[in-house]
């Protein structure tokens, strides 16, 4: 569906990413193919958790042709000419998916005067930070992300440069600017008039026609998905965290316009009434979902709405509040909402709401979001449920279930490997030792010699 998944674009990636890897010291590279035939790679997996929900399987061989998986079979039949990657000592899983990142721009707390980044930082600085963050994210095993909110289309630039093979990073769905009301969570507040006047180009839109125009504007400049702020938030100045911001009618119009243009809507929503309005309006996911009541949960189940819980963000702002990185109202909001959000998540898990992993990386250090799996398990999910939230379920939320999220024939060869059994110790998903994206090895700690020796 998405432009950047087109076969022609993919071919460009195949040529250029190995070229970049050749200049890296840590990752093995694919040999240049003597003919036009795509390279064959056979990955021997000691244990495979394939992301479909099936039980783990022992001694599987995953055959990869070019950038996609050709077969997944028990035993060790290696096709002629295939390069072998030996992961028999590892558990192999699908590449992880983070459905809520902010790869470009500053990480909260990063640098002096981070709160004034909006008036200090160049758009180019945002994008260049994104290059670093994209690589950290990929090396943590996250091979796809949905980036929900960025300034100046820095996210579009990053997505395009990753896709063109210029920089290494996860495949990205991006939103451009988040859409919000004047003075709301998605606006830039607490400056004197004249500095940040409401502007649909920056995503600030009130009422039916401006909301439609803002959706169209983000899409014109490259948005794959629409992000909106249905309620107040923690890190904004001047708005209570729980209040509803957009009306249900405005949200309905936004969803209608986005749907017409084949885009989905992700709604940031902490407060109960805003959550319900967004769900009724037809958004695809509720981000954070901090204050769920029984009716909100029933509505989400009825509409098939995903919850993207961002437990790491709750944990991070709570810590930042205690440490004084957040001050005043932000601190107050952080300390209030975090424990409530954890209780809401538990309720959602118990009630069987659809849940996709999303961390809100950017509120904390990029590349550490493997911890989200652990927090999901600590707050009520089984390890397998958490793994599925970060693979199959997140793929479905992104509308990419035909391309990513499971290790099955036809999907992109996005694989990660860890030592040990994540079903016993989910924390090991924070220590990913091998990452492949689209058939190209992008991280292989200590595996180069092993893999190379077997291949000869
Ligand atoms: Zn966010």
Domains of the chain: 3-95+406-455 (2.30.40.10), 96-398 (3.20.20.140)
Q: pLDDT grade, residue 277 (50/70/90)?
A: very high
Token pair, residue 404, equals 């990513």
Active site (catalytic) residues = 227, 360
Residues 414 and 62 sit within 8 Å (Cβ to Cβ): no
Angle at the Cα of 221 (from 220 to 222), degrees rounded to 5?
Answer: 95
Q: Whole-angstrom distance between the N-terminal and C-terminal Cα of the chain?
A: 40
Calculate how far, in angstroms, residue 101's C-alpha sits from the geometric centre of ligand 1.
Answer: 6
Calculate how far, in angstroms, residue 178's C-alpha sits from the geometric centre of ligand 1.
Answer: 10
Averaged pLDDT for residues 274-299:
97
Calculate how far, in angstroms, residue 207's C-alpha sits from the geometric centre of ligand 1.
Answer: 23
Token pair, residue 365, equals 């250090």
DSSP helix, strand, coil percent of the chain (3-state; round to 5): 40, 20, 40
Residue 378 CB burial class (10 angstroms; 0-12, 13-18, ≥19)? middle
Calculate how far, in angstroms, residue 319's C-alpha sits from the geometric centre of ligand 1.
Answer: 17
Residues 347 and 295 sit within 8 Å (Cβ to Cβ): no
Averaged pLDDT for residues 149-171:
97
Residue 451 has pLDDT above 70, yes or no: no
Averaged pLDDT for residues 253-282:
97
Averaged pLDDT for residues 302-316:
97
Query: Would you state the pLDDT for residue 20?
Result: 37
Calculate how far, in angstroms, residue 417's C-alpha sits from the geometric centre of ligand 1.
Answer: 28
How far from 408 is each of 48, 56, 92, 382, CA to CA, in Å? 11, 14, 13, 23
* Dihedral (Cα; 320, 323, 325, 331), 10-degree rounding: 60
Q: pLDDT grade, residue 11 (50/70/90)?
A: very low
Query: Would you state the pLDDT for residue 134?
Result: 98
Calculate how far, in angstroms, residue 285's C-alpha sits from the geometric centre of ligand 1.
Answer: 13
Q: Which of 415, 393, 448, 451 is nearest to 98 (CA)?
A: 393
Calculate how far, in angstroms, residue 227's C-alpha sits from the geometric centre of ligand 1.
Answer: 9
| Residue entry with tokens 């180019």 | 124
Q: pLDDT grade, residue 10 (50/70/90)?
A: very low
Residue 205 has pLDDT above 80, yes or no: yes
Cα gap 433→444, rounded to integer Å:
6
- List the 40-48 sheet strands across, edge first: 68-74, 57-65, 40-48, 83-94, 415-418, 434-437, 440-444
Calculate how far, in angstroms, residue 440's C-alpha sits from the geometric centre of ligand 1.
Answer: 29
pTM over 0.85: yes
Calculate how far, in angstroms, residue 39's C-alpha sits from the geometric centre of ligand 1.
Answer: 38
Query: Would you state the pLDDT for residue 35?
Result: 54
Residue 266 has pLDDT above 60, yes or no: yes
Q: Could you give the percent of the chain with pLDDT greater than 90?
A: 79
Calculate how far, in angstroms, residue 268's C-alpha sits from the geometric centre of ligand 1.
Answer: 7
Higher-pLDDT residue of 123, 113: 123
Residue 26 has pLDDT above 50, yes or no: no
Residue 27 has pLDDT above 60, yes or no: no
Calculate how far, in angstroms, residue 252's C-alpha sits from the geometric centre of ligand 1.
Answer: 21
Task: Kindly report which listed range (234-243, 316-325, 356-365) carries the lowest average pLDDT score.
Answer: 234-243
Tell me the Cα Rg of the chain. Answer: 22
Residues 97 and 144 sit within 8 Å (Cβ to Cβ): yes
Residues 278 and 327 sit within 8 Å (Cβ to Cβ): no
Cα gap 341→452, rounded to integer Å:
47
Dihedral sign of CA atoms 383, 384, 385, 390 in order: positive
């Amino acid at each position: 569906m998405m432009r950047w998944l087109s076969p022609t674009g993919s071919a460009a990636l195949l040529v250029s990413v190995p070229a970049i890897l050749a200049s890296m010291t840590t990752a093995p590279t694919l040999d240049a193919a003597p003919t036009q035939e795509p390279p064959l790679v056979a990955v021997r997996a000691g244990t495979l958790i394939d992301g479909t929900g099936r039980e783990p399987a022992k001694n599987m061989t995953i055959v990869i042709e070019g950038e996609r998986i050709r077969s997944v079979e028990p035993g060790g039949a290696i096709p002629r000419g295939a390069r072998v990657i030996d992961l028999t000592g590892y558990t192999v899983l699908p590449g992880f998916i983070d459905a809520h990142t902010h790869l470009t721009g500053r990480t909260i707390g990063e640098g002096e005067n981070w709160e004034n980044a909006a008036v200090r930082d160049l758009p180019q600085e945002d994008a260049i930070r994104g290059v670093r963050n994209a690589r950290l994210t990929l090396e943590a095993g996250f091979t796809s992300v949905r980036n929900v909110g960025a300034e100046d289309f820095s996210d579009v630039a990053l997505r395009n440069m990753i896709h063109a093979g210029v920089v290494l990073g996860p495949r990205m769905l991006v939103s451009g600017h988040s859409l919000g009301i004047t003075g709301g969570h998605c606006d830039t507040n607490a400056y004197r008039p004249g500095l940040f006047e409401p502007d649909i180009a920056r995503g600030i839109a009130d009422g039916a026609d401006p909301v439609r125009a803002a959706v169209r504007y983000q899409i014109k400049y490259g948005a794959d998905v629409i992000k909106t702020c249905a309620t107040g938030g923690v890190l904004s100045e001047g708005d209570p965290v729980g209040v509803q911001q957009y009306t249900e009618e405005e949200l309905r119009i936004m969803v209608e316009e986005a749907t017409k243009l084949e885009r989905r809507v992700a709604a940031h929503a902490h407060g109960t009434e805003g959550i319900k309005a967004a769900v009724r309006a037809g958004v695809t996911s509720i981000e954070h979902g901090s204050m769920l009541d029984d009716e909100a949960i029933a509505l989400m189940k009825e509409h098939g709405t995903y919850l993207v819980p961002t437990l790491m963000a709750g944990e991070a702002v709570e810590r930042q509040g205690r440490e004084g990185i957040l001050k005043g109202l932000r601190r107050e909001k952080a300390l209030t909402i975090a424990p409530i959000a954890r209780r809401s998540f538990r309720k959602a898990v118990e009630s069987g709401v659809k849940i996709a992993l999303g961390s809100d990386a950017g509120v904390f250090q990029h590349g550490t979001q493997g911890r989200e799996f652990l927090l999901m398990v600590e707050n009520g999910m089984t390890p397998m449920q958490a793994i599925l939230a970060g693979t199959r379920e997140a793929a479905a939320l992104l509308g990419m279930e035909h391309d990513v999220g499971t290790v099955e024939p036809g999907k992109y060869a996005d694989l990660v490997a860890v030592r040990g059994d994540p079903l016993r110790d989910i924390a090991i998903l924070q220590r990913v030792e091998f990452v492949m994206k689209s058939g190209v090895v992008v991280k292989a700690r200590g595996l180069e010699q092993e893999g190379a020796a077997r291949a000869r």
